[in-house]
Structure 1
Amino acid sequence: MELQDLEQELARCSACPLRKDAIGPVGWYGNPQSPIVFVGEGPGGVEDDYGCPLIGPSGQLLDKALWATKMTRDRVLTTNIIKCRPKNNRTPDAAEASFCGKLWLSMELAIIKPKVVVALGSVALHYLGNNDMRITRDRGMWFKTEQGIDCIATYHPAYLLRLYGREQVAAKWDVFHDLEAARERAALLAPDYVFMSEEKPDLFKLFKKRVHDYL
């Protein structure tokens, strides 16, 4: 199966209750040839509106972090564990993450075959690692996913937006070093790949607002 075929199947998904409160599933964005994939927890309101992962305030902060570590969103690939926005933007629970992740993310990764996965935040860390792992303790540490992919976890950009002052500065540096480590390992495993375009893509020009189809 090709990624575009999986995308068509995802658009028709109504396998869990989260679908009824969302405009529609939100897939992935980026280059399917990328040796590195960034996995967040799930779409928020802006992501649901535009059908693009990490396009809202969190995504804009991620774009800055990627640029600082010589990557751009069009040259890597970003996706989420959960494909439909939970009502009121709540955090997905472990059962929802497991159900949706096994249904879609596992297939994405099997098609893309990345060399490195970056888990953004606790939900992604728990799914890609295990429920005993803690983002505050285990971020920056390498482990293998169930599929045998090298994975490193770091703070979700939404977490950084909730911090301020020295705490925020320290956490941003942690993310910088984690992303830098991820890029270096991916570059080692895919030495000819170009991780950065000359300009950051404007996702709001590439994606248009969607209309709720009221399933």
Structure 2
Amino acid sequence: MDLDALAKELDQCEQCPLRKDAIAPVGWYGNPHSPIVFVGEGPGGVEDDFGCPLIGPSGQLLDKALWSVQMTRDRVLTTNVIKCRPKNNRTPDIAEASFCAKLWLERELEIIQPKVIVALGGVALHYLGNPDMRITRDRGQWFRTEQGFDCIATYHPAYLLRLYGKQQVAAKWDVFHDLQAAKARAEMLAPGYQFASEEKVDLFKLFHRRIQG
């Protein structure tokens, strides 16, 4: 199975209660041949509206962070642990994350076979690592996922948006260094791959608002 076939299957998914509160599942975006995959938590309202992962304010901040280390969204791949927006944008629990990820994320990763995964935030870290890991303690540290992929965690951009002043500046620098480390390992494992286009991608030109129901 390739990603296109998996995407068609995902569109029809109604296997958990989260689906009834979302417009539709939100899949992935980017280059399926990318050696690096960014895994976030799940879609928010803007992502559910447009059907693209990390397209809202968090995604716009991620785009800036990627640009700072010479990566663009069309040359990497972004996805989420959870494919349907939880009601009121609440944080999905461990059972919901595990159920959805075993259906979809693990199959995505099996197809893509990334050299490096970046876990964005605690939900992704708990699933790809283990529930005892903490983003504030374990970010920037390499570990192997159950599927055997090299993974490093960093703060989710939504977390950065909630910070202010010196705390926000320090956290942004942490993310910058984590992204540098992730890219360096991916470059070593996939020499010659081009991680950036000449310009940042405007996702709102590629995706259009979906109609509820």
Whether these two folds match at TM > 0.5 is yes
| Counterpart amino acid of residue 99 in structure 1 | F
**Which residue pairs with 1:65 in the alignment?**
65
SS of equivalent residue, structure 1 residue 152: strand
| Counterpart amino acid of residue 125 in structure 1 | L
**Which residue pairs with 1:133 in the alignment?**
133
| Counterpart amino acid of residue 143 in structure 1 | F
Cα separation, 1, equivalents of 2:15 and 2:186: 34
**Which residue pairs with 1:176 in the alignment?**
176
Deviation at residue 83 of structure 1 after TM alignment: 0.1
C-alpha RMSD over aligned residues: 0.3
SS of equivalent residue, structure 2 residue 184: helix
Q: Deviations over 1:19-72 (max 9, x none)?
A: 000000000000000000000000000000000000000000000000001100
| Counterpart amino acid of residue 127 in structure 2 | Y
**Which residue pairs with 1:26 in the alignment?**
26
**Which residue pairs with 1:103 in the alignment?**
103
| Counterpart amino acid of residue 14 in structure 2 | S
Cα separation, 2, equivalents of 1:181 and 1:69: 10
Cα separation, 1, equivalents of 2:187 and 2:4: 26
SS of equivalent residue, structure 1 residue 151: strand
Q: Deviations over 1:153-176 (max 9, x none)?
A: 000000000000000000000000
SS of equivalent residue, structure 1 residue 131: coil
**Which residue pairs with 2:146 in the alignment?**
146
Deviation at residue 184 of structure 1 after TM alignment: 0.3
**Which residue pairs with 1:86 in the alignment?**
86
TM-score (norm 1): 0.99
Using the aligned pairs only, state the percent identity: 79
Structure 1: where are the runs of 5+ without partners?
none
Cα separation, 1, equivalents of 2:15 and 2:187: 37
| Counterpart amino acid of residue 162 in structure 1 | R
Cα separation, 2, equivalents of 1:113 and 1:212: 33
**Which residue pairs with 2:43 in the alignment?**
43
Cα separation, 1, equivalents of 2:192 and 2:147: 24
| Counterpart amino acid of residue 72 in structure 2 | T
Deviation at residue 192 of structure 1 after TM alignment: 1.2
Deviation at residue 212 of structure 1 after TM alignment: 1.3
Cα separation, 2, equivalents of 1:85 and 1:103: 16
Structure 2: where are the runs of 5+ without partners?
none
Deviation at residue 80 of structure 1 after TM alignment: 0.1
Aligned length: 213
Deviation at residue 17 of structure 1 after TM alignment: 0.2
Cα separation, 1, equivalents of 2:133 and 2:201: 34
**Which residue pairs with 1:165 in the alignment?**
165
**Which residue pairs with 1:52 in the alignment?**
52
